[in-house]
Amino acid sequence: MTIAGHQDYWVTGSRFYFQRDAIGGVVQPILDFGTIDVASPSFDPSKIELKDGDGGIQRLVDERIIESAETYEITGYNLSPTQLALMYSGTVEDLDQAVTTKDDIKHRAVSGHLIKILDDDYDSATEPRFTLGVTTIDGVFTEVSDGGDELVLGVDYEIVSLERALIRIIPSSTVITADDDIFITFTPRLIAGARLIKPNTASGVIQGRGLLVYGRDNNASQTARIARFSLTPQTPNLSITEHSSLVFSLSVLEEIGAAEPAGRVEYWLGTLPSAS
């Protein structure tokens, strides 16, 4: 039997573009979610039924759909700061750190344990071992002392990681034998750009306009779902054995009063199915 007309067969991939609603009056850029798994729609209609109980077993005489939810689950592999901000329901800001030497910054040292280099004096009454604004180190330490004796690299302390700004007091040190304040002079690493993500600063569910494109035949055929969406982060998969991924749940939102309240599906490219 030959294939009848007006048919179209899909082997498709997906691409998702999203413009988050303005934040504090600032228009947000359109984000390309990059490589994603195929995003299949899920429909969950709610309906009511009218049944006639007057005899017989075929009692359903009418039914009506009273609500329909259209949702998508998108698994993406782009872990850029803007994508992570969506995952953490937060915002992205600049993180700036100048290459300016920090002199005699007070830290708390414990023999045999790590010290995280801080960018301001440690205060045991108000601050934990980690504080906001911790720094990553660019150069070697020029001075480490307990206020009197100078600590010797390789004898009293060792550098664990300049990138993570971690040193460790060597247990055999004769200068630091118990908890003690030490003073460290160091050079921070230059940091600039939109690197700071502040989680859970979004005022409610993240919403915006989305464009979900299904491309086929090397994108010679394309169909697009255009709508207003809410975006909810799901459990991510951070892995060392495969590409890490972020997962988002999308729900189509109705725009009350709009000419097309549920958005559109547009057959952008490709030969339209015909009768032949």
Domain boundaries, the chain: 13-39+64-92+198-269, 102-186
pLDDT band at 253 (very low <50, low <70, confident <90, very high): very high
What are the DSSP calls for 240-268, one per residue?
SSS--BEEEEEEEEP-TTSSSTT-EEEEE
Percentage of the chain lying above the pLDDT 70 cut = 92
Question: How does pLDDT run across 99-153, given as a tens digit for each residue?
Answer: 888 888 888 888 999 988 888 877 766 666 566 666 788 766 767 777 778 888 9
Convert the pLDDT of each residue in 30-43 to its tens digit.
Answer: 999 989 999 999 99
Distance CA 76, CA 131 (A): 32
pTM score: 0.79
Instruction: With CA atoms as reference, report the closest residue to 207 among 232, 188, 226, 189.
Output: 232
252 contacts 227 by C-beta, under 8 angstroms: yes
- What pLDDT does 123 receive? 73
Digit-coded pLDDT (tens) for 12-30: 889 999 999 998 888 999 9
Q: Which fold has domain 13-39+64-92+198-269?
A: Pnp Oxidase; Chain A (2.30.110)
Dist. CA 144–CA 152, nearest whole Å: 8
Average pLDDT value for residue range 227-233: 94
